[in-house]
Structure 1
Amino acid sequence: MAVTIRDVAQAAGVHVSTVSRTFSAPHMVNADTRERVLAAATQLGYRPNQAARALTTGRTHNLGLIVADIANPFFPPLIKAAQAYARERGYHVFVADTDEDPQEEQELIQTLAKQVDGVVLVSPRLTNHSIERLGMELPFVVVNRRVKGLSAVLMDVGSGAVQAVRHLTSLGHRRLALLGGPRGSWTSEQMRKAATAEAAAAGAELTVIGPNSPTERGGTDAAPEVLGCRATGVIAYNDLVAIGLIEGLAARGVEVPAGMSVVGVDDTVAGRLNRPKLTTVAMPTAAAGRTAVDLLLQAVDARGNGAAAQTTLETSLVVRESTAAVRPGENPPAGAPEIAGAPAG
């Protein structure tokens, strides 16, 4: 005969309702009791009926996690941490990739709406207005975007950009470039504001180049503009853009860091394996994944009655091989025109 919830309760020495809460809301059950119930369930071979639970509780115990580009090495550590934390809380995660397309993002949200209890949006490309409207129908947590009325997990990219500018200016660089990300990116805008202010305070010139595709190709394509503005130090939107820029510069006879210093953002495996190893701003991706799921489950429990929460996570500069001191009296990199040609914007 099939093992029932009553069998588990009897074996664990608890009430049936405690077994039910262990599987539907594990955070509401004492850790020792929860472990005893789970051990009894495993020993008896009990598996909760997910469909029945959904009908009883009104919840699917599924969450959606939508990212801009799953091929970007920034996202997998966040996804893995979010899934692990959700599993501890008795939830499963459906992961979807928008390929940087806001229309695809909206369609995915609408598709998932009836299958999940809430959605984590990571680096969304939709407008704030669209996200606010969709958030009226389903609990949301947004990562790396501020949206009115929604909980958010922010990585302090502004501080990271400041650290990057200070690092480059401490090495003697006075002509800097910032390679921005895709149009409408919250992260890119925060970097631009912070880097512009810090460069001005340090007496350095900063040329903003973009928008750019947040890929290696985006960095490679930007190489001529970087050379055109005669920068000696560059901060890229992410590690992929930085790696692409290094490739584009090498193809034009400019070596990093001898002829140009380059700083990435994210601290991905790709940057650590690149040659030269990439100086970069480390982003707390795993912490962001766990925090986002935690805030989303709070929103699900509140059922629209809780206040939006915002958590900001610190970033830190990791110095490796792609930055070096500017050479005394250094001329513009080889191949650069005499007049800067890339306006800020």
Structure 2
Amino acid sequence: MRITAKDVAERAGVAASTVSRALNSPGRINEQTRKRILDAARELGYSVAPRMIERKGLVGLLVPDITNPFYFDIIRSTQEQLRIAGFMQLLIDTGESGRTEAEILAQLSQVVDGVILSATRLDAAALATAADALPLAVINRQQEEIPGVLIDIRTGLTQAVDHLKALGHRTIAFIAGPPGSWQNRWRWKEFEEQVLGQGLTPVLVGPYAPTRTGGAAAADALLVTEATACVAFNDLLAIGILQRLRQRGIRVPEDMSVVGCDDIFGADFSAPPLTTIAGDTKQAGRLAASRLIATLNGEAPRNGTTLIPTHLLVRESTGPVRTHPSLR
């Protein structure tokens, strides 16, 4: 039977990426961990050919859309955490494309020490392949074998559904984001379960690009449903919905209530100010960077996902239900 780096990792109690660094880049891992890996490799008969490459001091941060204000605090907090640990951050916009993301990761494997993926558009298999090639941490994605941080929408979503129900809404739409987003699929699943659990009717509208332009198209589709309220995948979609509804003479919240997600910069001075589900994006960035740094320093991996709680911020875009605008 062929012995692989994964076998050595299991014997030594570390990640496969840590084995790769121990054998090929000994300057990037502490001596105690490297000795444990070498002992495991010898016990298993694994061939060792170290290349003595020094740490590069560079970590990549990949985001789907650098213009989305949601990523501003993540960019700043990861950069600060990495700087303290002696790393420089390389920021790359993947353009909401899983294919582009995979290509960039392949190019980065010889350039950086590790990568933080924020809202990755890779599927599970591609993400696992990338993790075998270089150390990763993920933000807003859940994959047990990879260190991750997830802004957990569930509590904030429960509060949003309770809030809309108390205002008299009985049919509530979810405005879906990009179809390649794991987070979008997860948010819809949680939304549907919670709305049904309250005895209300969920409606799926979309998917749409998570932008204000996408929100304009979503608003037109929303108005042909029976929904009197909606929860958008993110705040940019929600703000685009507000703008389009105003253009069409639909009053918010009198005719339609709108809830966003993420509490981005600008959500509180949209017209009207946006009710939204908020989580601590700065903390998400700091934790993701810290977990990747620990891996790069040769510490035993803490795989699995750390959850960041959320809560509802009630502003002026939600109000009591009135006659559906299509019936006015």
TM range (shorter): 0.7 to 0.9
The answer to whether the 8 A contact 1:63-1:94 is kept is: yes
- Unaligned residue ranges in structure 2 (runs of 5+): 1-27, 30-50
Counterpart AA for 1:313: I
Q: What residue is the counterpart of 2:173 in the other structure?
A: 177
Q: What residue is the counterpart of 1:310 in the other structure?
A: 305
Q: What residue is the counterpart of 1:227 in the other structure?
A: 223
Q: Which moved more, 1:189-198 or 1:284-293?
A: 189-198
Report the count of equivalent residues: 280
Q: What residue is the counterpart of 1:342 in the other structure?
A: none
Q: What residue is the counterpart of 1:154 in the other structure?
A: 150
Q: Which moved more, 1:260-269 or 1:162-171?
A: 162-171
Q: What residue is the counterpart of 2:316 in the other structure?
A: 321
Q: What residue is the counterpart of 2:255 in the other structure?
A: 259
Counterpart AA for 2:158: V
CA displacement 1:9-35 (0-9 Å, x = unmatched): xxxxxxxxxxxxxxx99xxxxxxxxxx
Segments of 4+ moved more than 3 angstroms: none
Q: Structure 1 residue 57: deviation in Å?
A: 7.1
Q: Structure 1 residue 93: deviation in Å?
A: 0.6
User: Secondary structure of 2:125's match?
Assistant: helix
Q: Are 1:79 and 2:75 matched, yes or no?
A: yes
- Whole-angstrom distance in 1 between the partners of 2:230 and 2:325: 13
Q: Structure 1 residue 279: deviation in Å?
A: 0.5
Q: Are 1:91 and 2:87 matched, yes or no?
A: yes
TM-score normalised by the chain length of structure 1? 0.77
- Whole-angstrom distance in 1 between the partners of 2:301 and 2:72: 30
CA displacement 1:34-61 (0-9 Å, x = unmatched): xxxxxxxxxxxxxxxxxxxxx9872112
Q: Structure 1 residue 162: deviation in Å?
A: 2.2
Q: Which moved more, 1:273-282 or 1:108-117?
A: 108-117
User: Secondary structure of 1:74's match?
Assistant: helix
Between 1 and 2, higher relative CO (CA 8 Å, sep ≥ 6) is seen in: 2
Map 1:77-226 → 2, pairs under 5 A = 77-226=73-222
Q: What residue is the counterpart of 2:35 in the other structure?
A: none
User: Secondary structure of 1:208's match?
Assistant: strand
Q: Structure 1 residue 307: deviation in Å?
A: 4.4
The answer to whether the 8 A contact 1:220-1:245 is kept is: yes
The answer to whether the 8 A contact 2:224-2:326 is kept is: no
- Whole-angstrom distance in 2 between the partners of 1:86 and 1:168: 41
The answer to whether the 8 A contact 2:144-2:305 is kept is: no
The answer to whether the 8 A contact 1:254-1:334 is kept is: no
Counterpart AA for 1:262: V
Q: Are 1:332 and 2:328 matched, yes or no?
A: no
- Whole-angstrom distance in 2 between the partners of 1:160 and 1:310: 18
User: Secondary structure of 1:302's match?
Assistant: coil
| RMSD across aligned positions (CA) | 1.9
- Whole-angstrom distance in 1 between the partners of 2:108 and 2:298: 20
The answer to whether the 8 A contact 1:218-1:241 is kept is: yes
- Whole-angstrom distance in 1 between the partners of 2:327 and 2:165: 23
Q: Structure 1 residue 148: deviation in Å?
A: 4.1
Q: Structure 1 residue 270: deviation in Å?
A: 2.0
- Whole-angstrom distance in 2 between the partners of 1:147 and 1:243: 30
User: Secondary structure of 1:212's match?
Assistant: coil
Aligned residues with identical type, % of pairs: 37
Counterpart AA for 1:324: G
User: Secondary structure of 1:141's match?
Assistant: strand
